[in-house]
């Protein structure tokens, strides 16, 4: 008898956690497990600001899937369409070949992409902070701005190269601004021709408060830390226009700058829009058990799914966080096991562990289990949480040694020349134009069926 085929789409927190648990709970004879992912690593997103600042090496936050998963078939590529009726997934492999994979059960965890708006110049000149390549690129770009500012004799050019704008007052934006500001402040001492007072970091957000999820008091503490370190935080403000060497704010200010880092939220993977299923603010509508209604054998979770938040009720859905994604992955794995063994499924229900925000150095704010902390205690909690969440001992060792070396020896200011000849844009890293229409998906599946 042929084993049921479980296909997991996405190698992020939700997908990897689901596959790991399936490996532990199912005997090899019970199911065939496959994972579709463009990269053979799980990216630990919360530490990308540390990569951008050079505190951690890129390898430290790229957890090898071949160390994590032992009998899951890893398919290098990306899902670009799903035919739910025929139970087939269309995949573009890393060799650019389009193939069709049959499944009995599909777990959709394609994650999210950077959310953008129709702002002139944004897609052309902004950089994101969603992928490992973007973090590595931003580090090179920021250091190159210091090099170029030191080399130029043009005062206007120097000014534009030494002003940096981060858009988004959530965790990603706040930590990115904090960590990179710390890097440039330390680096400025190595540039005799640069006046450190000319280096300015701007953090802006349309919201009235910084990181409102932290609560008012901790949010204000984080705001005070940033302003004390020289970061200019503007709330209730967004970007009106972006140029090659300037950024115009919605309050009318024109900031000379060649660096705009965009972290203003995320949107569900474009794969979701190809399914023709019900969505909630762009995320796939699912039941509390994370099943997709009217699509047999299909589950969805993580950033791409609007999973009901039963702890809050009143129609609330879970926010797109790593904490939720990991727990949802475990619950979906349990529900798949229950489905295969004709047992009842269980809804996703969680208890919030709290929030951690690492602002670099000894600065941090945290709220573990509702307890508000800042300074070194908060830093200890934040880094302890990250180490706990990393899935291999090799990754834990790399991160710990990198943190220790940085604390003892300080920062390095070496750029690798990554994409040095051509400025990179948001679209260069997230491959948002790869997806098929519903009709194209049906054409691929019909072609496969015709071949028998």
Tokens 């670009």 found at: 80
Domains of the chain from N-terminus onward? 5-114+267-352+432-450 (3.50.50.60), 116-264 (3.50.50.100)
The answer, yes or no, to whether residue 101 has pLDDT greater than 80, is yes
Cβ burial, residue 263 (10 Å; 0-12/13-18/19+)? buried
Q: Which residues pair with 93 in a beta bridge?
A: 77
3-state secondary structure string across the chain: CCCCEEEEECCCHHHHHHHHHHHHHCCCCCCEEEEEECCCEEECHHHHHHHHCCCCCHHHHEEEHHHHCCCCEEEEEEEEEEECCCCEEEEEECCCCEEEEECCEEEECCCEEECCCCCCCHHHHEECCCCHHHHHHHHHHHHHHHHHHHHCCCHHHHHHHCEEEEECCCHHHHHHHHHHHHHHHHHHCCCCCCCHHHCEEEEEECCCCCCHHHCHHHHHHHHHHHHHCCEEEEECCCEEEECCCEEEECCCCEEECCEEEECCCEEECHHHHHCCCCEECCEEECCCCCECCCCCCEEECHHHEECECCCCCCCCECCCCHHHHHHHHHHHHHHHHHHHCCCCCCCCCCCCCEEEEECCCCCEEEEECCCCEECHHHHHHHHHHHHHHCCCHHHHHHHHHHHHHHHHHCCCCCCCCCCCCCCCCCHHHHCCCCCCCHHHHHHHHHHHHHCC
The answer, yes or no, to whether residue 20 has pLDDT greater than 70, is yes
Q: What pLDDT, on the 0 to 100 scale, is given for residue 419?
A: 57
Digit-coded pLDDT (tens) for 41-80 = 999 999 999 999 999 999 999 999 999 999 999 999 999 9
Give pTM, 2 decimals: 0.91
The answer, yes or no, to whether residue 428 has pLDDT greater than 80, is no
Digit-coded pLDDT (tens) for 240-261 = 999 999 999 999 999 999 999 9
Average the pLDDT over 326-354 and give the result.
Answer: 94
The answer, yes or no, to whether residue 1 has pLDDT greater than 80, is no
Average the pLDDT over 187-215 and give the result.
Answer: 91
340 or 113, which is more confident? 340
Q: What pLDDT, on the 0 to 100 scale, is given for residue 449?
A: 65
Digit-coded pLDDT (tens) for 432-448 = 667 777 777 777 777 76
Q: Which tokens is 321 given?
A: 């966080």
User: Which range is least confidently modeled, 41-45, 72-76, 150-154, 210-214?
Assistant: 210-214
Q: Which tokens is 55 given?
A: 């505190």
The answer, yes or no, to whether residue 233 has pLDDT greater than 70, is yes
Q: What pLDDT, on the 0 to 100 scale, is given for residue 286?
A: 97
Average the pLDDT over 111-127 and give the result.
Answer: 92
The answer, yes or no, to whether residue 420 has pLDDT greater than 60, is no
User: Which range is least confidently modeled, 104-118, 120-134, 295-309, 413-427?
Assistant: 413-427
Tokens 């939720």 found at: 324
Digit-coded pLDDT (tens) for 310-319 = 988 888 999 8
Q: What pLDDT, on the 0 to 100 scale, is given for residue 387?
A: 95
């Amino acid at each position: 008898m042929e084993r049921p085929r479980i296909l997991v789409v996405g190698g992020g927190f939700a997908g990897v956690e689901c596959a790991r648990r399936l490996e532990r709970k199912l005997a090899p004879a019970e199911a065939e497990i496959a994972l579709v992912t463009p990269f053979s690593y799980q990216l630990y997103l919360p530490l990308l600001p540390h990569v951008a600042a050079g505190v951690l090496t890129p390898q430290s936050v790229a957890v090898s899937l071949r160390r994590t998963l032992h009998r899951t078939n890893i398919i290098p590529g990306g899902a670009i369409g799903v035919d739910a009726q025929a139970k087939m997934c269309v995949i573009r492999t890393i060799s650019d070949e389009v193939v069709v994979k049959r499944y009995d059960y599909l777990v959709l965890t394609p994650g999210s992409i950077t959310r953008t708006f129709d702002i002139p110049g944004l897609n052309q000149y902004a950089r994101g902070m969603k992928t490992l390549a973007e973090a590595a690129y931003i580090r090179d770009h920021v250091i190159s701005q210091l090099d170029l500012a030191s080399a130029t004799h043009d005062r206007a050019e120097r000014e534009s190269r030494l002003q940096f704008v981060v858009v988004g007052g959530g965790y990603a934006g706040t930590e990115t601004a904090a960590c990179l500001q710390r890097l440039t402040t330390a680096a400025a001492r190595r540039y005799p021709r640069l006046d450190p007072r000319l280096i300015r970091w701007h953090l802006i957000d349309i919201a009235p408060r910084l990181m409102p999820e932290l609560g008012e008091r901790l949010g204000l503490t984080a705001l005070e830390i940033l302003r004390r370190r020289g970061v200019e935080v503007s709330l209730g403000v967004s970007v009106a226009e972006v140029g090659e060497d300037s950024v115009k704010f919605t309050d009318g200010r024109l900031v000379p700058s060649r660096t705009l880092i965009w972290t203003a939220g995320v949107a569900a993977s474009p794969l979701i829009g190809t399914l023709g299923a019900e969505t909630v603010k762009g995320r796939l509508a699912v039941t509390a058990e994370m099943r997709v209604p009217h699509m047999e054998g299909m589950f969805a979770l993580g950033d791409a799914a609007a999973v009901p938040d039963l702890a809050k009720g009143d129609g609330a859905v879970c926010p797109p966080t790593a904490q939720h994604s990991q727990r949802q992955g475990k619950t979906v794995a349990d529900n798949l096991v229950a489905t295969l063994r004709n047992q009842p499924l269980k809804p996703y229900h969680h208890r919030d562990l709290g929030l951690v925000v690492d602002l670099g150095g000894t600065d941090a704010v945290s709220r573990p289990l509702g307890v508000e902390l800042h300074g070194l205690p908060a830093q200890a909690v934040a880094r302890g949480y990250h180490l706990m969440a990393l899935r291999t001992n090799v990754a834990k060792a790399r991160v710990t040694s990198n943190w220790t070396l940085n604390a003892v020896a300080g920062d390095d200011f070496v750029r690798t020349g990554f994409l040095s000849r051509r400025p990179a844009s948001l679209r260069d890293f997230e491959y948002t134009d790869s997806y098929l229409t519903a009709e194209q998906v049906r054409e691929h599946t019909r072609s496969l069926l015709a071949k028998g």
